[in-house]
Amino acid sequence: MKKTAVIGAGSWGTALAGVLADNGHEVTIWARREEIADEINSKSTNSKYLPDIHLPQTIKAVTNIRIAAENADAVILVVPTKAMRAVLRDIRPYLREEALLVHASKGIEPESHLRISEIITQELERTDVVCLSGPSHAEEVCRRQPTTITCSSIHMELAEEVQDLFMNQFFRVYTNPDLIGVEIGGALKNIIAIGSGMTSGLGFGDNARAALMTRGLAEISRLGVKLGGNPLTFSGLSGLGDLIVTCTSHHSRNWRAGNMIGKGKTADEVENEMGMVVEGMRTAKAAYQLSKKLNIDMPITAELYAVLFEHKDVKKAVEALMGRVKKKEVEGIMSGTLPEGGKDPLDQLEP
């Protein structure tokens, strides 16, 4: 039994707190708002973020980050990307050096273009962080429905500790040493999920969604490989797996946001209405900036950026994508044009 602190009492932090409590760990969840902590402590519910869900009664909530962190053996950071730096600055004085450090957030910071583990390293001056990422809607995890997920770190022994911490009969955890690929896949699929929601909002069907997901995965992989990710990671749980779960589900806030935009709302209206984080919006800005800086072709991201930040009409964005110049479908070994810096995926397949 470990003392664990979950930092962030939104849907995902609360769901992960439930898994840890099911596994017999002591769980303290840090909530920013008093009323959320009170509700968790008095009723074992978090109705704003997870309506109709009863949490294990052993979960305790606090609003003082020091109390959550100071005795914890493992600290799980689960706040939106835009809040991560401020939370890290608040928690830093109370973190034990030997505490296992995990994050489960999905995003890239605009302007700095840093992944979450890089933000953590910058703010805490430690590299011993593990990322937990994969196809996992909080609403289903809370109902103990079968879920698979990946954890990754540059220190694989720590990833294995996190695998042991979370793994149970309904929550199956794999490890993957490719931290760059795991974080990039988890962050960028949210952009494509917004696009998938838009196609439904526009009244398009399965063909459009399949097109967007497949070509979306191609551009996620293109950027991810350029940044140093393993091409195979993008067809794994944190890549294709998470792309499927977010592009095809009404649980996804990114999908729902895109759907509303497809039906005619502006990005600002949607962000105000959602009341929950829509990570894909800011990540679209970061990915667009990165694609320009690194000269990577990311047409779907570029069109979504124009819709979200330059008021481009969604239908015009679809026309632009469909009217692009002729292209070959496959990059790399099959077309004889391996992306610059990319490794041949066939060389990395295990026998």
Ligand X SMILES: O=C(CO)COP(=O)(O)O
Q: 216 among the known binding-site residues?
A: no
Binder of ligand NAI out of 8, 229, 236, 342 (CB under 6 A): 8
Decide whether 12 or 305 has the Cβ nearer to ligand NAI: 12
Q: With CB cut-offs between 5 and 8 Å by kind, which of ligand NAI, ligand X, none does residue 135 bind?
A: ligand X
Asked if residues 193 and 167 have their Cβ atoms less than 8 Å apart, the reply is no
d(CA 322, CA 303) in angstroms, rounded, equals: 11
Please answer whether residues 149 and 237 qualify as being in contact, where contact means their C-beta atoms are separated by less than 8 angstroms.
Answer: yes
Interface with ligand NAI, residue 277, by CB under 6 A = yes
Return the DSSP state at 12: H
Question: Which residues carry out catalysis?
Answer: 189
Shorter beta-carbon distance to ligand NAI: residue 12 or 288? 12
In Å, the largest CA–CA distance within the chain is 62
Residues 6+ apart with CB under 8 A from 96: 69, 70, 71, 72, 73
Alpha carbon 195 to its chain centroid, in Å, reads 16
- The tokens describing 295, both together, are 């000269």
User: Annotation-wise, does 292 bind a ligand?
Assistant: no
Our finding on whether 142 is near ligand NAI (CB under 6 A) is no
Residue corresponding to tokens 């067809």: 235
d(CA 93, CA 91): 6
208 binds ligand NAI (CB under 6 A): no
241 assigned binding-site residue? no
Q: Which residues pair with 132 in a beta bridge?
A: 151
Contacts with ligand NAI: how many residues (CB under 6 A)?
A: 26
Distance CA 1, CA 25 (A): 5
Cβ proximity to ligand NAI, 105 vs 233, nearer residue: 105
> 10, 18, 231, 262: which one contacts ligand NAI (CB under 6 A)?
10
Q: Which of 4, 5, 6, 11 binds ligand NAI (CB under 6 A)?
A: 11
Q: Tell me which residues in 81-140 interact with ligand NAI (CB under 6 A).
A: 81, 83, 86-87, 104-107, 136-138
Shorter beta-carbon distance to ligand X: residue 68 or 162: 162
Contacted entry of ligand X, ligand NAI, none for residue 83, CB cut-off 5 to 8 Å set by kind: ligand NAI
DSSP string, 250-279: TT-HHHHHHHHHHTT--HHHHHHHH-S--H
Q: In the complex, what is the shortest distance from the CB of residue 160 to ligand X, in angstroms, rounded to a whole number?
A: 22
Buried b (16+ CB within 10 A) or exposed e, 272-284: eeeeebbbbbbbb
Please tell me whether residue 144 binds ligand NAI under the rule CB under 6 A: no
**Considering Cα of 326, then 327, then 328, then 330, what sign does the dihedral take?**
negative
- In angstroms, the CA 287 to CA 223 distance is 9
Report, in Å, the least distance between residue 44 CB and ligand NAI: 17
Q: In this complex, which beta carbon is closest to ligand NAI, that of residue 8 or of residue 332?
A: 8
Residue type, 50: L
- Shortest spacing between CB 29 and ligand NAI, in angstroms: 9
Q: Which of residues 15-54 bind ligand NAI (CB under 6 A)?
A: 32-33, 49
78 binds ligand NAI (CB under 6 A): yes
Q: How far is CA 305 from CA 192, 194, 217, 230, in A?
A: 11, 11, 17, 26
Q: What dihedral do alpha carbons 198, 202, 204, 209 form, nearest 10°? A: 0
Among residues 178, 256, 250, 253, the alpha carbon closest in space to that of 221 is found at 178
From the list ligand NAI, ligand X, none, pick the one residue 332 interacts with, judged by a Cβ distance below 5 to 8 Å according to partner type: none
8 interacts with, out of ligand NAI, ligand X, none, CB within 5 to 8 A per kind: ligand NAI
| Binding region for ligand X (CB under 6 A) | 106, 135-137, 190, 193, 242, 245-246, 252-254, 279
Is 104 in a helix, a strand, or coil? Answer: coil
- Residue 222 annotated as lining a ligand binding site: no
Q: Which is nearer to ligand NAI, 8 or 185 (CB)?
A: 8
Binding residues for sn-glycerol 3-phosphate: 106, 134, 136, 189, 242, 252-254
Residues in contact with ligand NAI by the rule CB under 6 A: 8-13, 32-33, 49, 78-81, 83, 86-87, 104-107, 136-138, 276-277, 279
